[in-house]
Amino acid sequence: MDVAIVGATGLVGQIIFEILDKSKIKLNNIYAVASDRSVGQFIKFKGIDIKITSIENVLENKIDIAIFSAGKELSLKWAPIFVEKGAYVIDNSSAWRMDETKKLIVPEINGHILDKKDKIIPNPNCSTIQMVMAIHNIHRKYNILRIIISTYQSISGTGRKAIAQLHAERNSNKSEKVYPHQIYNNAIPHCDEFEENGYTKEEMKLVNETNKILDSNISITATAVRLPISGGHSESINITLENSFDIEDIKNIIQNSEGVILEDKPFKNHYPMPVNSQGKDSVYVGRVRRDNSCENSLNMWVVCDNLRKGAATNTIQIMQLLIDKGFLN
């Protein structure tokens, strides 16, 4: 199998290389693709230096799977070209997520709907992935009517320049501002651009993508906040169910969900935190408790490494699905 990683030098691209380096997926060739300023440099993979090439040049080779982690505009332009050349495209940008002809895939939830004709496969937003991982089995049993979600997102979701801004401000140095305000010692209720309805694009991704993955009938509202931490997204989630529930049954459902770990011993100070999620592929859930202010409602706290299960790991799981389903034969 021949694979191209487009956006190989970015935060997600590097973790994709790291995961593939340790995986048992058999590769014939792996190509590192990046912008012109990185072409000619090298990325180490399984002890070998892989020379970075341009997107134009990589198309001269046979490509079975192209993984895109390089932004919406590039994906819109180049993903169809890779498909014309016979490749499957797994895309980490927002370019194709809400396209009605494309399936938004989280393998543990809806991997079964992936078909051989699905040549462009969008990866959901990182915040969406960890939320639906935590709640999808609850929805299957109890039917979720409404979700209120507030996110507390690390700066790694914005990229290297955001990390540089935080480090510079922490050391009282000047740097390029990725955010409109100081991020160090601050919390900014502004993730991505604002839309006309007063919500940010990040908040609307949580709404629209969750409706597409789980159920279009769920009412959802979101607030997304950026925090000065370098890794891991956290979410406070309030859900209202159609049916009455036992809180212990809810915890059992979470505990038995694939890819989800319940950490819910608050009186022993045991609950999910982003510092403990970094470098791990699971979604962590804790602080599960009944919402006594609203009938059939409950609260939970959900944490995940946004660069791994929120992006790179989910991508490689989709890649494994393509292999397991025999689509590449």
* Same domain? 156 vs 221: yes
CATH code for the domain of 61: 3.40.50.720
Three-class SS string for 3-63?
Answer: EEEECCCCHHHHHHHHHHHHCCCCCCEEEEECCCCCCCCEEEECCEEEEEECHHHHCCCCC
Full residue range of the structural domain in which residue 71 is found: 2-124+311-324
Determine, yes or no, domain membership for 196. yes
118 and 132 assigned to the same domain = no
Kindly state the DSSP code that residue 145 receives in the 8-state scheme.
E
Residue 329 in domain: no
Question: Does 272 reside within a domain?
Answer: yes
**Judgement on whether residues 92 and 234 belong to the same structural domain of the protein:** no
Same domain, yes or no, for 86 and 201?
no
In the prediction, which pLDDT does 111 show? 97
Give yes or no: residues 142 and 17 share one domain: no
Three-point CA angle 211, 10, 31, nearest 5°: 100
Residue 280 inside a domain? The answer is: yes
Q: Check: CB of residue 61 under 8 Å from CB of residue 31.
A: yes
Residues 275 and 170 in one domain: yes
Which pLDDT belongs to residue 187? 97
174 located within any domain = yes
Identify whether residues 290 and 143 lie together within a single domain: yes
The span from the CA of 20 to the CA of 30, in Å, is: 10
From the candidates 112, 126, 167, 190, give the one annotated as an active-site residue. Answer: 126
Q: Is residue 243 part of a domain?
A: yes
Angle ∠(89,92,94) on CA atoms, nearest 5: 110
User: Does residue 245 sit in the same domain as residue 316?
Assistant: no
Residue 259: inside a domain, yes or no?
A: yes
Question: Residue 19 domain-assigned?
Answer: yes
Residue 78 CA to residue 69 CA, distance in Å, equals 12
pLDDT in tens, the chain (329 residues): 999 999 999 999 999 999 999 998 999 999 999 998 999 999 999 999 999 999 999 999 999 999 999 999 999 999 999 999 999 999 999 999 999 999 999 999 999 999 999 999 999 999 999 999 999 999 999 999 999 999 999 999 998 899 999 999 999 988 888 999 999 999 999 999 999 999 999 999 999 999 999 999 999 999 999 999 999 999 999 999 999 999 999 999 999 999 999 999 999 999 999 999 999 999 999 999 999 999 999 999 999 999 999 999 999 999 999 999 999 87
The CATH number of the domain holding residue 238 is: 3.30.360.10
3-class secondary-structure state, position 106: coil
Token output for 10: 């970015």
pTM attached to this predicted model: 0.95
Q: Which residues contact 229 (CB under 8 A, 6 or more apart)?
A: 154, 155, 274, 275
Q: In terms of domains, do 134 and 104 share one?
A: no
Same domain, 295 and 319: no
What's the total number of domains in the chain? Answer: 2
**What pLDDT is attached to residue 142?**
97
pLDDT of residue 176: 86
Catalytic residue among 136, 139, 191, 233: 233
The answer to whether 233 is a known catalytic residue is yes
Query: 164 vs 15, 47, 170, CA distance in Å?
Result: 19, 29, 10
Q: Are 89 and 154 within one domain?
A: no
- Same domain (yes/no): 81, 214: no
